[in-house]
Amino acid sequence: MIANIDDLRAQIAGALEVEPEEVADEAHFTEELDFDSLMLLEVATRVEKKYGIPVDDVLVSGAQSLAELHAFVVSKTADESAA
């Protein structure tokens, strides 16, 4: 399954308990969205459940924003579908 940025936005918004419109593509997770390590773990867990990407891979991806997370998830899911 190829990731849709709006689906990832909804996943992050759900973890933050905010409306999806409040999660901008380029908003920095820790600086602008007030993510802490537990919030990052929650998002990584949601990504694993939805896309099958291991939590550890998501955490070490270095994604700092929705746009970066989307690019990472797309690359991982594209690799999976090509295999």
d(C-alpha 69, C-alpha 73), whole Å: 6
Distance of CA 53 to the CA centre of its chain: 11
pLDDT of residue 27 exceeding 80: yes
Mean pLDDT, the chain, whole residue set: 92
Q: CA 44 to CA 83: how far, in whole Å?
A: 23
pLDDT tens per residue, range 53-81: 999 999 999 999 999 999 999 999 886 65
How many C-beta neighbours within 10 Å does residue 3 have? 22
Inter-CA distances, 60 with 17, 18, 19, 20, 83, Å: 24, 25, 26, 24, 22
